[in-house]
Amino acid sequence: MLQSAWQWILEPGGEAVLLFSIIALLIGLILGSLIGSSSRKETGKALVNRGDKSFFKGIQYLLSNDHDQAIEEFTKSVQVNSDTIETYVALGNLYRSKGDIDRAIRIRHNIILRPNIDEQIKIRAIFDLAMDYRKGGFLNRALKTFLEVAEKSPGDVEVLKEIERIYEELRDWEKAYETRQKIARLDKGDHRNILAHYLVEMGKVCHEKGDLGRARALFTKAISTHRRCVDAYLHLGDLYFERQEHKKAIAVWKKVVEIIPQFTFLAYRRLEGAYSRMKNLEPVGLFLKQCARSNSDAFTHVALARYLHNENDVEGALRETEAALALDPSFWEARKFKGEILMSQGRDEEIISDYGEIMKNLNIPYLRFRCSQCGFEPDELQWKCPQCNGWDTIGLVESDNTTVEP
């Protein structure tokens, strides 16, 4: 129990500094009374026996969130008793939280180089050093140091997640995928969506390099790993379309409509880009008409309207924009497209009659996205939340202000 408490209080992060410092004092006192070595006894008792009031003042300043004064008092404390590792760790975390990475790093080295230090404390100090490097932007150093910790503690999921995060930032998707596989073996839960996204990112790299065969295999593997990975369907369809295998592309994009209907607009917009490059648009028309029958939402009707307008069916296009607006009067994209059609036809009276409704709803965005985990609202759909780093947590915000996740 004592060891687990010790590991808990040494967790990194500025938000834990206060609790860490208070409990560190208690653990230090316990260590001083329970552990037999003279150096351990000094850890807790010296704070009291030597009349060192600075440590307690440091805690008081932390309570009032005055980190500068806390640093000053903790510095005085280590001058009285340089053997108090807890104080050094608190100082290191405080310096990191203030962005003074050089001092934080020096403190970690001071702890690591101490003779006869407990192995678990040393490993945690190396971990903290890696966190300092990461906060300072030294990603390669941070990665090397985290990997050193992982060798000493191969079952530490926290370390593996930090390694994974750096691989993501370095865009080394293969290593990120391998690291997530290790995490999945240690941490219960469903990791398929994250693994699938890494496979998609690997596929994108191959696609950009012109290795279409490898890219296709990776996109397909991503789908088999996680059936609801929308990004995999979209990019597999893109690959087919680039190879002018239009029917295959449409068939893949159609899966998005079947599996996650709220993201069908992503497939529709790809189809819109296909109009000018496909000689035979009949498969597109059949697909959109089928979707309109089975998935009656505003996006579906606008997509069909664009197709019909491209086929010179003006009245049919107007009917579909009206159908979209009947479902959602605030859908500004439908209103904008309807206005474009009316203007191109010179139908001034209809433009005037529709003008009031257009002005009422023009500034109301139809597409809003929100992270269900942290509430972050990006301007466009992202598969990974940039704020909380959650995969597949960003979804569409419905008219009733609820969020629909992938």
**pLDDT for the residue 7:** 42
Percent of the chain topping pLDDT 70: 68
Q: Average pLDDT of 325-354?
A: 76
133, part of any domain: yes
| Residue 87: band (very low, low, confident or very high) from pLDDT cuts 50, 70, 90 | low
CA distance 348 to 336: 15
**pLDDT for the residue 68:** 66
Between 357 and 256, the higher pLDDT residue = 256
**pLDDT for the residue 358:** 59
Which of 124, 155, 186 delimits the end of a domain?
Answer: 155
319, part of any domain: no
| Residue 26: band (very low, low, confident or very high) from pLDDT cuts 50, 70, 90 | very low
**pLDDT for the residue 60:** 63
Q: Please say if the pLDDT value at position 250 is more than 70.
A: yes
Q: Please say if the pLDDT value at position 139 is more than 80.
A: yes
347, part of any domain: no
Q: Please say if the pLDDT value at position 2 is more than 50.
A: no
Ranges 291-295, 312-316, 323-327, most confident: 312-316
105, part of any domain: yes
Percent of the chain topping pLDDT 90: 28
Which of 112, 127, 155 delimits the end of a domain?
Answer: 155
Residue 11 has a CB neighbour count (10 Å cut-off) of: 16
Q: Please say if the pLDDT value at position 209 is more than 60.
A: yes
Between 87 and 62, the higher pLDDT residue = 87
Q: Average pLDDT of 328-350?
A: 77
Q: Specify the CATH number for the domain of residue 138.
A: 1.25.40.10
230, part of any domain: no
Q: Which of 86-90, 194-198, 199-203 has the lowest mean pLDDT?
A: 86-90
For 83, 125, 127, 164, 280, the CA distances from 109, given in Å and listed in that order, are: 14, 8, 11, 24, 68
Q: Please say if the pLDDT value at position 30 is more than 50.
A: no
Confirm if 248 and 255 have CB atoms less than 8 A apart: no
Q: Please say if the pLDDT value at position 22 is more than 70.
A: no
243, part of any domain: no
Q: Average pLDDT of 262-285?
A: 74
Domain count, the chain: 2
Contacts 24+ apart (CB under 8 A), 117-124: 117/85, 120/3, 120/6, 120/7, 121/6, 121/10, 121/85, 123/149, 123/152, 123/153, 124/7, 124/10, 124/89
Q: What is the 3-state secondary structure (H, E, C) of 325-353?
A: HHHCCCCHHHHHHHHHHHHHHCCHHHHHH
Q: List pLDDT tens digits, range 60-76.
A: 665 666 666 666 666 65
| Residue 108: band (very low, low, confident or very high) from pLDDT cuts 50, 70, 90 | confident
**pLDDT for the residue 184:** 96
Between 324 and 218, the higher pLDDT residue = 218
**pLDDT for the residue 330:** 73
Q: Which residues span the domain enclosing 139?
A: 2-155
Q: List pLDDT tens digits, range 38-51.
A: 333 444 444 444 43
**pLDDT for the residue 8:** 37
| 370 DSSP β-pair partners | 395
Which of 155, 190, 209 delimits the end of a domain?
Answer: 155
17, part of any domain: yes
Q: Average pLDDT of 262-269?
A: 78
Q: List pLDDT tens digits, range 359-384.
A: 665 555 556 789 988 889 888 888 99
307, part of any domain: no
